[in-house]
Amino acid sequence: MTRVRQRVLAVIAALGGVALFAYAVHRAGVDEIVDGIRRIGWGLLPILGLAGLRFLLRAAAWRFCMPPGTPMPFWRAFSAFLSGDAVGNLTPLGMAASEPTKALLVRHRLETSESVSSLAIDNLVYAASIAVVVTAGLVVLVVTAPLPREGRDAVVVAVLAIVVGAAVMVRVLRGTWSNDGERRPRWRESLSRLRQSIVGFWSASPDRIARAFLLDMGFHVLAVYEIYLTLGWLLGGHPTVAQALVFEGLNRVITAAFKFVPFRVGIDEALTGALAPVLAVQPVAGVTLALVRKVRNLAWTGVGLALIAAAPARVAPASDRQGSEPSRPI
């Protein structure tokens, strides 16, 4: 795809998101949304704090996906992860922009091949945790919400799709080609090397993979708690954990499916507002919940961009990988 087409698609996605955002806000009611935000008030601070803690867990999970003994300070991994996430939020490229940014910012501590492999492993482990959370949310939705038959059938199909997707991923990791026959294309050689590095790390360090998965699950647990707190302030009462879990499951799906829309503008508000009545929550509360998440994302994206701006002044020349240290500390 040419750059011109990419830009055109980005503009179309952005305009569509803005239009959908305006529709969702208008339907929910501007006054009601403003009132909901006022109810949260200073509660935005713990929401921002929980988001920061979640980023810390994701950065820690990424470090466990690096080779043992990698000289990667936690702060460097956290800074790179936060910066990459900020770039991914701002551009329609999503992971195609966020992951290279992370690799670039840790190039003085990790060779390119190792950073690419670690990021691939991290994303696979994170995808597994997302599958668990989305499946749990779907099961809870069926059990707690009075869905019509068509809705229940859709949930069953979604769960089956997750299972099939997991099976396909396992098959891909096992390899789908043979070393016999003609020479493979260059792109398949690169993919094969990446697959071998992932499988090799998985076989050699299953304990590190398990720890990364647990940290990713902690990321989701905090997200559910954040939604629970936010709904409590918006509803003026006590929401249920089931409601928070289903909302988080939807949030994970939206983030994964609409990463090409910067900040998921309009998408999050429309779909969260549409799901709210199914969970016995007013649509305005769902739209406001999405808006609060937007404010939180904007705040931490700003932090990530600030870290990128400060990076050139802090990075040191790469070591020679023979044991010598950088000339300046990172």
Report CA 145 to chain centroid distance, whole Å.
26
Is the pLDDT reported for residue 157 higher than 80? yes
pLDDT of residue 308: 84
Q: Predicted confidence band at 327 (pLDDT cuts at 50, 70, 90)? A: very low
Can you say how many angstroms the Cα of residue 25 is from the centroid of all Cα atoms in its chain? 25
Nearest to 1 by CA among 114, 103, 96: 96
Q: Is the pLDDT of residue 282 over 50?
A: yes
Residue 6 tokens read as: 């990419």
3-state helix, strand, coil in the chain (%, to 5): 80, 0, 20
pLDDT in tens, 33-54: 666 677 787 888 999 999 999 9
Indicate the helix (H) or strand (E) that contains 140. Answer: helix 112-144
How far, in Å, are 156, 217, 225, 243 from residue 230 at the CA level? 29, 20, 9, 12
Residue 248 clears pLDDT 70, i.e. is over it: yes
In this predicted structure, the answer to whether residue 20 has a pLDDT above a threshold of 60 is no
Q: Does 330 or 19 have the greater pLDDT score? A: 19
pLDDT tens-place string over residues 56-109: 999 999 999 998 888 888 999 999 999 999 888 877 777 888 888 898 888 888
The closest alpha carbon to 266, from 45, 55, 27, belongs to 27
Confidence category of residue 243, pLDDT binned at 50, 70, 90 = very high
Most confident of the ranges 110-114, 264-268, 282-286, 324-328: 282-286
Give yes or no for a contact between 106 and 311, defined as CB atoms under 8 angstroms apart.
no
Q: Residues 219-238: pLDDT tens digits?
A: 999 999 999 999 988 887 78
Could you tell me if 195 and 189 are in contact, meaning their C-beta atoms sit under 8 angstroms apart? no
pLDDT digits (tens, 9 = 90+) for 253-273: 888 877 777 767 778 888 888
Token pair 């329609």 in the structure block, residue: 92
Tell me the C-alpha distance between 42 and 89, whole Å: 25
- Show me where the domains of the chain are located: 13-314
Residue 285 region by backbone torsions, left for phi larger than 0, else alpha for psi between -120 and 50, else beta: alpha
